Structure 1
Amino acid sequence: MKLPMLLNLGQQPLSATLPVTERPDNAEVFQSHDPACPEEVVASYCIASEAQTDEVLDRAQSAFQEWSALTGTQRVNAIGRWLERIEASTDDIALCMTAEQGKPLSESCAEIGKALREARQMLGFASSHAGCTLPGRSRGFRNIIMRRPHGIVLAIAPWNFPILTPLRKLVPALVTGNTVVLKPSEYSPAAAIALVTLAEGIIPEGALSLVNGKGAVAARLVAEDRIRAVSFTGSVDTGRKVAVAAAAGLKPVSLELGGKNAAILDEVADPGAAMDAIVGAAFQCSGQRCTSISRVIFRRHRLDEVVGGFRHRLDKLVAGPGRQAGTTLGPITTPEQLDKIERLVNEAIEGGAACLLGGHRLSPDEAPTGRFFAPTLLLCEDPSNVAVQEEIFGPVLTLQPCDSDDEALALLNNSRFGLTSAVFSDRVQFVNRALSEAQSGMIHINHGTVPDDNMPFVGIRDSGLGIGSVGASTLDFYTSEHSAYVAGY
C-alpha cells in the first residue's frame, strides 16, 4: 500500500483523520517544522473541530460492535497483517519521523523495528489472555473469570517517539476488542497518520481513528463520556490533569510520565564499556527520552577517570540534521524544550554545579538555524540542585560523587521520579542490594536503560500510574474483569 506523501505539504493540509487534498471550510490549521531547519514547514494539518471529533467518536462507537465481536484469533491475525504493512513502509515512515521529530534516520528505523517487535510480543500474550475457569462451591457449579473490552479507548501520544509510543497503546487496545481514537502530538503527527492509513482495509472503518490538534482537543476527548479508558504518555504536569479529568468519569487511566534516571558506576572489570552503555542510554534521541540516564553516581576516588572518560565520549558526538549521514546527535524537537534545557542548565550552574563540557546552544555548519544543544557534562555534589532533581529532557549528564554503598543507593533514590535505573557492578552483594532497594519501576544491571520487548514498561512515584505498557499485564488495563457463576453445566 502506497503511503501519501507527508513531506513538504505546505499547501496540502491534513484532516482530522486522514490526508486530504483540500482544506475544509473554516478549518483551523497548524504546521509542523523541521527542528534542524525551523523555518522549513514539513506539513500543515487541520485541527479537529468539535463536530469532527463527534463524527470520529460516532464511528468508533459503531465499529465497536463489529470489532469486539470478532474472535481473539481473528483480531490477532488482522493486526499481524497491519504490522507487516508497517514494516514494509519502514523507510517512508522513518523519513516522516526524522523530518518532524529530528532524530537521526538510523534511530527512526531502530524505533520502528523495536515497536514492531514489542507489538508482535503483545499479540502472543493476547492469544492466552481470556480469563480462566475455577472450581465452583459444590458439584455442578463452576466459576468463570472473564475479561471484556471497555469500548472506545483514547490514546494520547508524545512527540519524542512518534511510532513506538502509539503502537504500545494501539496494539493491546485493539487486540482486546476495543476501538481506539489516537491523538498524536501536534509536533510530529505524520508517522501516526501513516499508521492509521496503513490500517485501511484491515482494521474496520472507525475502529482506529486519528484526531489532530493541540491540548484543547485532547482535553475535550478525555472529558467525553463515550471515551471509556485513557492511556497517556507525556509530562507529569499534564498527566496529573489527565488523571483528574478521567477520574471525573471514573475512567481507567494509564500514565507514562517523566524520569530522572540514575546509573551507579561501581566496580567493574571494563569501566569503558560501562561508560559506552551509559552514554548510549543518555544521548539517544538527544536525551529526549523518559528513560534516558541523566545522572551518574560514582566513587569519589575515581573522579579523574570518570570525568575524562565521559568527556572523551561526549566529544565524539556529532550534532547535525537527522537526515545527514554520520549524525549521532539530532536537534531538540520543540522551541519550548530547547528553552527549558537552557534555563535548567543555567539554573544548575548558578546553583553550584560545575559545567565540565557544553552548557550552551549549538549552530552546526550543516544546520545553523537548527534547535541544537551541546552535549553537556555537569558535576554536582548538592542533591537538591536542579541538575539532580529536575527532568531536563536533553543532552545533559550530571555526575554525582559518593563515598559508600549506602550513599550511592541513597542518591539513586533521591528523586520524586521512579522510572528506571541502572547499576554497573561486578559485586554480587551490591547488585542484590540494588535489586531490592532501587526505587524505580525498571532496574537494569550492567547495561543501559533500554527495556526488552517482552518486559513491563512501568514507572512508580511521579513516573507513572496504573499498569505499564508492554508485557502481558498491559492487556489487563484495556479490559474489565467479570466474575460469572454457572450452575447445571
Structure 2
Amino acid sequence: MTAYLNYINGSWQSGQFKKTTDVLNPSNNEVLGNIPYSTKEDVEIAVDVAKETQRTWRKLSGAERGQYLYKVAAIIESRLNEIAETMTKEMGKTLGEAKGETNRGVDILRYYAGEGMRSVGDVIPSTDRDALMFTTRVPLGVIGVITPWNFPVAIPIWKIAPALIYGNTVVFKPASETAITANKLVECFHDAGLPKGVLNLITGSGSIVGNNLVEHEDVAGVTFTGSNTVGKNIANIALNRGAKYQLEMGGKNPVIIAHDADIEKAVEGTISGAFRSTGQKCTATSRVIIHKSIKDKFVAKLLNKMEEIKIGSGLEESIWMGPCASENQLNSIMSYINIGKEEGAKLLKGGNRLTESPYDQGYFIEPTVFDEVKTHMTIAQEEIFGPVIALITYDSLEEAFQLANDVKFGLSASIYTENISAMLSFIDNMEAGLIRINAETAGVELQAPFGGMKQSSSHSREQGKAAIEFFTSIKTVFVKG
C-alpha cells in the first residue's frame, strides 16, 4: 500500500505526524493508500515556509508567474488519464466526468496564466493637475486553501491558480477522501519547477489542520468550499483576527418547469442536474417546481427516462452514475430519504441502498424522486447532497418564484420556458448567484464569476476576472513631482 506524504518547501516530507488515515474506493472499499494525519506543528512549518517564500514570489512579474502555470497545465494534460482515474477511484464519479473535470483544470490554469499579462489597476483623475493618481493591486500574502471532495481537481485549481498568479503563496488542505488526487496535482506543480515553498500540501482532519490553518496569524486569507457549518466557523475565526475569508457553501437549487416548457429538454436537464456525480454537487438540482397543467406528462417522462440510468463503478465505460463518495455520505442521504417518508412526501421512485452483488461492497444508492412535497418539509429545505429530488407543483409563475426562493440558500436556479417575458421575470426575481435558462442548474463556465446569495456564500465570487477581488488588495498611489 502506498503511503503519501505532505509537500512542504518543495519536497515530500513525513513531518511531525505520527498517525495516518486510509483512503478508500467507495465502489468496493479497497484501500487506495494512506495519508498523513497532520498536526498543528506541520501547519506551522508550512505557513512559515509559505510566508518566507512569498517575499520573493511576489517580486516576479505576472508574466513570469504565468509561465509556471502554463507548464503545470501542460503536465496535467499529459497525465490526464492517470489523474482522472485516481479521482474516480477516490470519490466515485464516472471516468468521463473525471476526465472532463481534469480538462477543466487545465483550462483554468491557462486562463489564469494569461491574467499575468492583464491590467491590475486604473488611472484616476486627480484634483491636482500636477499629480498622477492610479491604483494597483498587491497580493494578500499566504492563502489557506481548503477544498471538498466532490470536485478534487477543478475547485483546488480555481483557487490555487489565481492565488499564485496574483503573487500569493498557498498552503493547501484538501478533503481526506480525495487527498491522493490532490497529491497528484501537487506533483504536477513540483515537476513544473515551481519555486520551493510557493505551494504546500497538508493533509489531515479539518478540526486540526483546517482550524489551525484558519487560526494562524500569518495566513492572510482563507478560501473555502464546503458545508455551511464549517464555513460559518471559518468566518468567525477569520473575522476575529482580521483575516480575509471567502466561502462557497450549500445550495438547494430549483428548476422551474413552465407550462410551455420543452418537456424532453426539461426532463434531460433535470436528470442531468440532479443525478450526475450522484447528486454530489453544490449546484445540483434538488427541487423541481412544475406547473400543474404539465405535471403528469413531465413526471411520466422523468420516471421513464430514469430507467436508463446505469449504476456501478465509475471506471466502467457504460456506467452513468457511480457510488456515494463515502459511507458517511451514504448514511446522510439515506437519513434524508427516511425523513421525507416520515414527513409525508410520496416516494415515487428509488429510495434504497443497493446491497446485492456487484454493489454489496460499495456505497451505491438508487436515484430517488419524492412527490407531493410541501415547501416546509426538510427535504425541500435542507441540502441533501445526493441523488434525491423533490417535486413541487404551482399555479402561477409568481407562486413558482416564491417557492423557488423560499429557502436559506441562493446558489443556482434554472427555468425551462419558451416565453421571453417569463425568462426576464425569472432573471429579475430569483435570489441566486447563477441563473440558467433552458439549461440544468449545475454548471458554470470558468471565465464567469461563480458564487451564491443568502447562505450559499460569503457574497464574494470565484473564477473569471472576479477572482482578483479576493486574492489582492487595492493600493491607491498619488505621485507629485
User: 3-state SS of the aligned residue for 2:431?
Assistant: coil
Which residue in the other structure is 2:451 paired with? 458
Distance in 2 (CA, whole Å) between partners of 1:56 and 1:63 is 11
1:200-257 per-residue CA deviation (whole Å, 9 max, x = no partner) reads 1421110001001011211011000110000000000110001001112111110000
Instruction: Choose 47-56 or 117-126, whichever is displaced more.
Output: 117-126
Length-normalised TM-score, structure 2: 0.96
Query: Is the Cα–Cα contact under 8 Å of residues 249 and 457 in structure 2 kept in the other structure?
Result: yes
Residue of structure 2 aligned with 1:294, choices 286, 289, 294: 286
Structure 1 residues 450-475: Cα deviation after superposition (integer angstroms, max 9, x where no partner): 11221111101110014211121111
Is the 8 Å Cα contact of residues 418 and 441 (structure 1) preserved in structure 2?
A: yes
- Aligned with 1:32: secondary structure? strand
Amino acid at match of 1:33: L
Decide whether aligned partners of structure 1 residues 364 and 97 sit closer, same or farther in structure 2, where only a CA change above 3 A counts.
Answer: farther
- Corresponding position: 1:266 with 2:258: yes
CA distance in 2 between partners of 1:91 and 1:206 (Å): 28
**Do 1:321 and 1:366's aligned partners in 2 also have CA atoms closer than 8 Å?**
no
Work out which of the residue numbers 259, 270, 275 in structure 2 matches 1:283: 275
* Residue of structure 2 in register with 1:69 after alignment: 59
Aligned to 2:476: 483
CA contact (8 A) 1:189 1:212 kept: yes
> Aligned partners of 2:250 and 2:160: how far apart in 1?
21
Q: Contact 1:60–1:207 (CA<8 Å) still a contact in 2?
A: yes
1:227 to 205, 219, 237: 219
- Verify: 1:116 aligned to 2:97, yes or no: no
Number of the residue aligned with 2:143: 153
In the alignment, which residue of structure 1 is the partner of 2:350? 358
Offset at residue 125 of structure 1 (A): 4.0
Deviations 1:433-459 (A, max 9, x none): 000000000100111121122111110
Equivalent AA in structure 2 for residue 56 of structure 1: A
Q: Match for 2:401 among 406, 409, 419?
A: 409
Aligned to 1:376: 368
Give distance in 1, aligned partners of 2:93 and 2:331: 18
Distance in 2, Cα, partners of 1:142 & 1:319: 64
Residues in 2 aligned to 1:96 and 1:368: alpha-carbon distance in whole angstroms: 22
* Post-superposition offset of 1:363: 2.7
Q: Distance in 2 between matches of 1:310 and 1:230?
A: 41
Q: Would you say 1:31 and 2:29 are equivalent positions? A: no
SS at match of 1:328: coil
| 1:126 Cα offset (Å) | 4.5
Structure 1, unaligned stretches of length 5 or more? 1-9
Check whether the contact 1:14–1:20 (CA below 8 A) recurs between aligned residues.
no
Deviation, 1:52, is 2.4
Instruction: Give secondary structure in 1 for the equivalent of 2:270.
Output: helix
In the other structure, the counterpart of 2:425 is: 433
Q: Deviations over 1:172-196 (max 9, x none)?
A: 0000000001000011111111111
CA separation in 1, counterparts of 2:452 and 2:386? 20
1:448 and 2:440 correspond: yes
Q: Compute the displacement of 1:26 (Å).
A: 6.3
Aligned to 2:209: 217
CA distance in 2, matches of 1:463, 1:51: 32
CA apart distance, 1:281: 1.3
Q: Using the TM superposition, give the Cα deviation of residue 317 of structure 1 relative to its aligned residue in structure 2, in angstroms.
A: 0.9
How far residue 25 of structure 1 moved from its aligned partner, in angstroms, is 8.0
1:139 aligns with 2:129: yes
Q: Distance in 2 between matches of 1:469 and 1:126?
A: 17
1:50 is displaced (CA, Å) by 2.8
Counterpart among 23, 31, 45 of residue 55 in structure 1: 45
Q: Decide whether the 8 Å contact of 2:94 with 2:313 is kept in 1.
A: yes
CA contact (8 A) 1:118 1:453 kept: yes
Q: Distance in 1 between matches of 2:150 and 2:126?
A: 50
Mapped partners of 2:5, 2:172: distance in 1 = 14
Amino acid at match of 2:308: K
CA RMSD of aligned residues (A): 1.7
Distance 1:128 1:24, change over 3 A: closer
**How far 1:432 moved relative to its partner?**
0.6
Residues 325-334 or 42-51, more deviating: 42-51
Q: Indicate conservation of the 8 Å contact 2:91/2:149, yes or no.
A: yes
Aligned pair partner of 2:338 in 327, 338, 346: 346
| 1:387 aligned to which of 371, 374, 379 | 379
* Contact 1:16-1:47 at 8 Å conserved across structures: no
Q: Percent identity among equivalent residues?
A: 30
1:9-48 to 2 correspondences below 5 Å: 10=1, 12-17=2-7, 27-38=18-29, 40-48=30-38
- Contact 2:66–2:115 (CA under 8 A) maintained in structure 1: no
Find the residue that maps to 2:112 and give its secondary structure: helix
Are the aligned partners of 1:267 and 1:426 in contact in 2 as well (CA < 8 Å)?
no
Rounded to whole Å, the distance in 2 between the matches of 1:375 and 1:63 is 48
Q: Which amino acid aligns with 1:471?
A: G
Are 2:193 and 1:202 equivalent residues in the alignment?
Answer: yes
